[in-house]
């Protein structure tokens, strides 16, 4: 049991969430902006140092019918890079519709478009991580 960090990988931004296996709850944490790998991985290293996770979770995008596309391969590569750089297991989770769910949650909470856009990726990461946590609890 322990802390898990979840990622919603994107080319311009990476949403980040944190959760606990004991409580089974995930929360949106932050958004890492920028396309430079060094900046991204330095920010991730700081989060890993702060939260000391036991594992990482990365959303795996596919078409709605489950077939892979260009971002699927990029997310697999990102998960492999996380594992290689930080020595932590990196699980992949189906993220179909996570951004749409995040958009709906933020809109229902009364956030205007500008505020939703700022938090969308972190909330999508929360949905991805919550899916992983829920599947773990269902299997235990």
Average pLDDT of the chain to the nearest whole number: 85
Pick the residue with more confidence: 75 or 1?
75
List the one residue out of 95, 106, 24, 85 whose CA is nearest residue 57: 95
Distance CA 85, CA 71 (A): 21
Reported as a single tens digit per residue, the pLDDT across 83-137 is 999 999 999 998 865 555 655 655 565 655 555 455 678 888 999 999 999 988 7
In sequence order, the 6+-apart residues with CB closer than 8 A to the CB of 111 are 119
Q: What is the mean pLDDT of residues 25-31?
A: 94
What's this model's pTM, rounded to 2 decimal places? Answer: 0.84
Distance CA 32, CA 48 (A): 13
pLDDT at 116: 46
Quick one: CATH architecture of 3-138?
2-Layer Sandwich (3.30)
Q: What does the block give as tokens for 52?
A: 């000391």
Distance CA 74, CA 21 (A): 27
């Amino acid at each position: 049991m322990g802390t898990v960090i979840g990622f919603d990988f994107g080319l311009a931004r990476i949403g980040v969430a944190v959760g606990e296996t004991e409580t089974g709850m995930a929360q949106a944490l932050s958004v890492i902006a920028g396309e430079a790998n060094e900046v991204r991985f330095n920010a991730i290293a700081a989060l890993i140092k702060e939260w000391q996770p036991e594992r990482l979770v990365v959303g795996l995008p596919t078409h709605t019918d489950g077939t892979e596309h260009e971002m699927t391969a990029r997310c697999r590569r990102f998960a492999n890079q996380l594992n290689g750089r930080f020595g932590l297991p990196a699980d992949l989770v189906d993220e179909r519709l996570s951004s749409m769910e995040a958009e709906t949650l933020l809109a229902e909470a009364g956030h205007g478009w500008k505020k939703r856009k700022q938090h969308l990726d972190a909330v999508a990461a929360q949905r991805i991580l919550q899916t992983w946590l829920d599947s773990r609890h269902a299997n235990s």
